[in-house]
């Protein structure tokens, strides 16, 4: 059974560990919407952090209609100098899915940003301390991530994004592609705020905020990976983007992903490995669109996506198809 971190009784119990108090060093950013069954775990895990560096907690409540707002207000009353709550009247995510993050970033005072959505939480109370030390000691890198625990709705859990038992320096090309299994857990992201000083305008049309935040922060040298499981990612959590998405919405978002990866390609001067990673990512998006179009019996668009994928690279498309086929067969055999 997973052990949950508990929040200290008072603000002083949090602050007493701080050695560096001249400024806010870390801003914990937490977007949430209708996650009253989860948000307590998230905020408790933030408050439980034992670190030498002063931090603040910014929670963006995106016009929740459940008890999320009242829970957050009770925390704010108990920890008034630590917690800031942005309360929206109108849901910002429905206007632009990246606006909640932008609103938090606009008021964040920290030199560093630690990102965690309201349905996830942190697993170790030294997460911030370890990550800030990594970036303090490695000035050539702007972001550090970690392994995670994947928690299912039935309470079972397993490794998530376990890509090694040692600290790794992940090249930018691998940041584009992501790990072979799972994805880099958003709740583990810890990065320099300055890495986002020049966010391109197209970011606000990007379908997934965290993926591009990771890439902006990882360019050009890549990112630092810590093998410790510092966070818990809820699989198919209520209120998460993945749980709310239907197939038609998926097609819209994947098309936008394809457009954004093209813009990323134009934005940076990339080495050959990164260029190849961009090409493979394009094929991944197009092949996903092909498969979903088949499921919707939209054969005309399915053929169009497949043709577009083969025009990027016939060999890579065939390889991707084979990988998907093997994965499907393994899934059927394991049932």
149 vs 161: CA distance, rounded Å:
8
Q: How many domains does the chain have?
A: 2
Q: What is the pLDDT of residue 243?
A: 45
What pLDDT digit, counting tens, does each position of 91-118 carry? Answer: 999 899 899 999 999 999 999 999 999 9
Q: Both 170 and 311 in a single domain?
A: no
Q: What is the pLDDT of residue 212?
A: 95
CATH of the domain at 216: 3.90.550.10
Q: Is the pLDDT of residue 321 over 60?
A: yes
Do the Cβ atoms of 68 and 76 come closer than 8 Å?
no
Q: Both 252 and 123 in a single domain?
A: no
Q: Both 58 and 84 in a single domain?
A: yes
Maximum separation of any 2 CA atoms in the chain, in Å: 63
Q: Is the pLDDT of residue 333 over 80?
A: no
Q: Both 78 and 220 in a single domain?
A: yes
Give domain status of residue 181, yes or no.
yes
Do the Cβ atoms of 278 and 176 come closer than 8 Å?
yes
Give domain status of residue 223, yes or no.
yes
Q: Both 227 and 253 in a single domain?
A: no
Q: Is the pLDDT of residue 31 over 70?
A: yes
Q: Both 36 and 161 in a single domain?
A: yes
Give domain status of residue 3, yes or no.
no
Q: Is the pLDDT of residue 36 over 50?
A: yes
What pLDDT digit, counting tens, does each position of 170-228 carry? Answer: 999 999 999 888 899 999 999 999 999 988 989 988 988 899 999 999 999 999 999 99
Q: Both 97 and 199 in a single domain?
A: yes
Give domain status of residue 104, yes or no.
yes
Q: Both 145 and 173 in a single domain?
A: yes
Q: Both 319 and 300 in a single domain?
A: yes
- Of residues 210 and 319, more confidence is placed in 210
Q: Both 158 and 304 in a single domain?
A: no
Q: What is the pLDDT of residue 316?
A: 81
The count of other CB atoms within 10 Å of the CB of residue 311 is 10
Give domain status of residue 160, yes or no.
yes
Give domain status of residue 5, yes or no.
no
Query: Of 171, 206, 238, which one is at a domain's C-terminal end?
Result: 238
User: Quick one: average pLDDT of 303-307?
Assistant: 93
Residue 62, CA distances (Å) to 31, 44, 77, 137, 281 in order? 8, 20, 19, 36, 31
Q: What is the pLDDT of residue 326?
A: 66
67 vs 274: CA distance, rounded Å:
45
- DSSP E strands in 156-265: the ranges are 157-160, 168-170, 190-192, 223-234
Give domain status of residue 73, yes or no.
yes
pTM for this structure? 0.91
Q: Both 141 and 98 in a single domain?
A: yes
Q: Both 225 and 314 in a single domain?
A: no
Query: Of 219, 238, 257, which one is at a domain's C-terminal end?
Result: 238
Query: Which domain, by its residues, includes 196?
Result: 11-238
Query: Of 223, 238, 253, which one is at a domain's C-terminal end?
Result: 238
Give domain status of residue 34, yes or no.
yes
176 vs 171: CA distance, rounded Å:
9
Q: Is the pLDDT of residue 17 over 50?
A: yes
Q: What is the pLDDT of residue 110?
A: 98
Phi, psi of 186 (to 5 degrees): -55, -40
User: Quick one: average pLDDT of 233-245?
Assistant: 62
């Amino acid at each position: 059974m997973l052990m949950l971190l508990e929040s200290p009784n008072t603000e002083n119990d949090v602050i007493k560990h701080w050695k560096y108090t001249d400024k806010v060093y870390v801003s914990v950013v937490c977007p949430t919407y209708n996650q009253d069954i989860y948000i307590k775990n998230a905020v408790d895990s933030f408050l439980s952090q034992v670190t030498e560096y002063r931090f603040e907690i910014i929670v963006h409540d995106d016009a929740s209609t459940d008890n999320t707002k009242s829970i957050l207000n009770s925390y704010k009353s108990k920890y008034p100098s630590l917690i800031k709550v942005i309360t929206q009247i109108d849901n910002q995510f429905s206007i632009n899915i990246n606006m909640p993050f932008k609103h938090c970033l606009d008021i964040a005072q920290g030199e560093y940003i630690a990102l965690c959505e309201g349905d996830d939480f942190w697993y170790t109370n030294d997460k911030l301390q370890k990550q800030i030390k990594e970036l303090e000691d490695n000035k050539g890198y702007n972001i550090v991530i970690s392994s995670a625990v994947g928690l299912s709705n039935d309470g079972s859990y397993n490794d998530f994004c376990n890509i090694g038992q040692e600290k790794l320096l992940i090249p930018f090309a691998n940041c584009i592609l992501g790990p072979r299994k799972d994805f880099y857990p958003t709740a583990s992201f810890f990065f320099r705020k300055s890495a986002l000083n020049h966010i391109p305008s197209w970011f606000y049309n990007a379908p997934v905020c965290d993926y591009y935040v990771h890439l902006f922060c990882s360019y050009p040298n890549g990112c630092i990976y810590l093998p410790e499981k510092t966070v818990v990612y809820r699989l198919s959590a209520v209120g998460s983007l993945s749980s709310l998405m239907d197939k038609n919405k998926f097609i819209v978002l994947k098309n936008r992903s394809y457009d954004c990866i093209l813009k990323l390609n134009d934005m940076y001067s990339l080495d050959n490995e990164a260029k190849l990673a961009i090409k493979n990512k394009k094929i991944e998006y197009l092949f996903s669109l092909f498969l979903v179009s088949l499921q919707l019996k939209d054969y005309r668009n399915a053929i169009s996506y497949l043709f577009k994928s083969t025009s990027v690279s016939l060999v890579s498309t065939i390889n991707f198809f084979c990988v998907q086929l093997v994965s499907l067969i393994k899934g059927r055999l394991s049932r």
